[in-house]
Chains A and B, each alone.
Chain A
Amino acid sequence: MKFFFFHLMAWQDLPSDFEKKYDSAWIWAPNTLFDPEKGGRLYNEYIDTLVYADELGFDGVCVNEHHQNAYGLMPSPNLIASILARQTRNVKIAVIGNALPLYNPPTRVAEEFAMLDCISGGRLIAGFVVGGGPEYYSYGINPTHAREMFREAHDLIIRAWTEPGPFRYFSKHYHLNYVNPWPRPIQQPHPQIWIPGVGSIETMEFVAKRRYAYMGIPYFHIDVFKRTFDTFRDCCNREGYEPDPEQMGWIVPVHVAETDEQARKEFEPALWYFAKKLLLGITISPPGYTSVKSALAIDKNRGKFLHSIETWDEIEKGVYAIVGSPATVRDKLSYYQKHLGVGNILTSPQIGTLPHEIARRSMKMFAEEVMPYVRQA
């Protein structure tokens, strides 16, 4: 059982009427709403919080990549990860991930991840993603090529890490006569690979086949997660093996305080800011980004997405977040971790507008009063 601390690095100062004035926190939400001075302070505090997770004994920290949005301020998670590689000692550093079709050539990912692995002494977890729908609007990459580019870029990176260079790599989208990245990663044959997904069968088959780890993307009803991990296990079975629980990760917002009431009081406003403002537009899906079947399925699941939820009761019942006293949180977490059969819990304790001090107090209580219990359970 492993615990990861996942930081999204949200912009905390959207105006209170944001969702009335704008239709998205992504792509075209005006960047004049970003104040660079405040942004600088925020980055430093967020990085301190990630470093604190190392001191508290989390197994790892996670960062991810998003562009042109208020939801997550890391267009380059590799920059943050490189600071963490120096400022932390023990944690795994999971970059989940780099959006491969946005890197041309994708050799760049092989290079930067290898740098991170070298600097951190082999602590990198390499995450590969297709990138969210909004990214394709922001970067002008043709969404109808997304899956193809992802697969080709993936193959290139794995070969770059495992085959002696130089070699030639010609695919539909990439034509490189000399692939020969210096440096190479410490971890052999290559760093562990994690792939986050929202439940598309194509992604699960891709992950199962290569024995990578599948991370369930959050903000859906617990039933959606259950179905997702069951399907992933089926995919592994079809490949002829039973997946290790650590091949699966569940991303879930968690908040701990002295009492259930106190925890809810602290966390609820931050969660609604997150759900109603920051998630606005996250599901924008350009044409051809998924198969027709997946597009219709996503359309059907929309009602189970956190952005559409209106009451705290639904949050609790759907397990969109786990919030309460240490006893409540460890009971729920143990129960649902077994229910889902996952070996990694990726908590995201600082969501939305949650103040740094409160986030840090919650993390400390989580590390001291929840983690040891859930590890044993």
Chain B
Amino acid sequence: MLDKLKSIQYALKVKWYEATLDRLRVVDINGRKVQLMEGGEGEPLLYLHSAYGENLWMPFHQKLSEKYRVIAPAHPGFAQTEGIEDIDSMEDMIFHYLDLMDYLGLKEVNIAGVSLGGWIAAEFATRYPDRVHRLALAAPVGLWMDEHPVTDLFALLLNIEKLRATNFHDPESALARMLVPDEADDDMKAEAYKGMAATARLAWNPFCHNPKLARRLKRIKSPTLILWGDDDKLVPTAYAEEWARHIKDSRVVKISECGHLMMFEKEDEFVRSLTDFFG
């Protein structure tokens, strides 16, 4: 049974790799190598990934690309994107994405960001509100409420079982076990370590938030979707209302029986929520 499961997991992964190959390029943006995946036609949709580092072309990318031109860059420090040593703060990350948007000729774009990516998207929109058309924030970190602490993901790395339980509504599912395996191979371990290191660059201290962000959020002009799993054990669902309170034109959508990594766990609902919102 276990062997069979492993072989299915392996086949799935190979499929994702193959799908990625056709859609991947590494470009030079202001002297920095940046990995981009791109697929589909229509309105551009800039997808900013989570700390998990979903930088393979996965089913949710594919489904979104049936309606939009999905552009999914890897953040510095993730996959083949370089330059993390020059990113010391959110400010540096925002400049990075300003350069990327200029490079791609994106004047005003729809952005969807998950978790860490949501935080980056929100920070970007507070600084350059005119460059964001519609904004979707899926379980973003970035705000802080003492009564609803974000789980210390940096401490979770020690305990794979806890890590899985914190990120998924159903940590026992085959999908959860594949995405966060008990025994990862060296490549996967190296990539995860690199991604967490890049995340720590921005999120170690202050932990997963910017104390100044809340009062800047009123600068966001674009209609904003705040999307959350109803069983998010990493970034408590209570944050959905907190984001909505600060962003003028915002609406909250919750996905039921869903943990933090909703683009994996509830792929269809995730995609449907975004397409309903972006139109």
Contact = CB atoms under 8 A, between A and B. Distances in A.
Contact of B200 (A23, A142, A284, A299): A142
A137 interface: yes
A288 interface: yes
B190 A296 contact: yes
Interface residues of A, number: 19
A287 B200 contact: yes
Nearest to B158: A284
Interface of A: 23, 27-28, 136-137, 140-145, 284, 286-288, 292, 295-296, 299
A299 to B, nearest CB: 7
A85 B238 CA distance: 56
A137 B189 CA distance: 21
B157 interface: yes
Contacts of B200: 142-144, 286-288
Contacts of A287: 154, 157, 193, 196-197, 199-200
Contacts of A140: 204-205
Nearest to A173: B88
Contacts of B189: 296, 299
Contact of B201 (A288, A292, A296, A299): A288
A142 B201 CA distance: 7
Contacts of B205: 140-142
Interface string B183-213: 0001001100110111111001100000000
B2 interface: no
Interface in B196-250: 196-201, 204-205
B190 A292 contact: yes
Main secondary structure of the interface of B (DSSP, over half): helix
Nearest to A293: B190
Given A295-B193, A296-B190, A23 B158 contact: yes
A137 B152 CA distance: 10
20 contacts: A23-B159, A28-B155, A137-B155, A140-B204, A142-B204, A143-B204, A144-B200, A284-B158, A286-B200, A286-B204, A287-B154, A287-B196, A288-B196, A288-B198, A292-B193, A292-B194, A292-B197, A295-B190, A296-B193, A299-B189
Contacts of A299: 189
Nearest to A287: B196
A137 B186 CA distance: 25
A23 B194 CA distance: 24
Nearest to B207: A140
Nearest to A145: B88
A173 to B, nearest CB: 10
B218 to A, nearest CB: 29
Given A142-B200, A145-B88, A287-B157, 5 more contacts: A23-B158, A141-B205, A292-B190, A292-B193, A296-B186
Contacts of A136: 204
Nearest to A136: B204
Contact of A288 (B88, B159, B190, B197): B197
Q: Which 7 A-B pairs have the closest CB atoms?
A: A288-B197, A287-B196, A287-B197, A142-B204, A287-B200, A140-B205, A288-B200
A144 B197 contact: yes
Contacts of A144: 197, 200-201, 204
Nearest to A141: B205
Contacts of B158: 23, 284
A286 B194 contact: no
Nearest to A300: B186
Nearest to B159: A23
Contacts of A23: 158-159
A288 B78 CA distance: 13
Interface in B140-193: 154-155, 157-159, 186, 189-190, 193
Nearest to A288: B197
A332 B198 CA distance: 46
A296 B190 CA distance: 7
Nearest to B196: A287
Contacts of B186: 296
Nearest to A28: B155
A218 B201 CA distance: 30
A286 B200 CA distance: 9
A292 B186 CA distance: 10
A23 B159 CA distance: 10
A283 B198 CA distance: 20
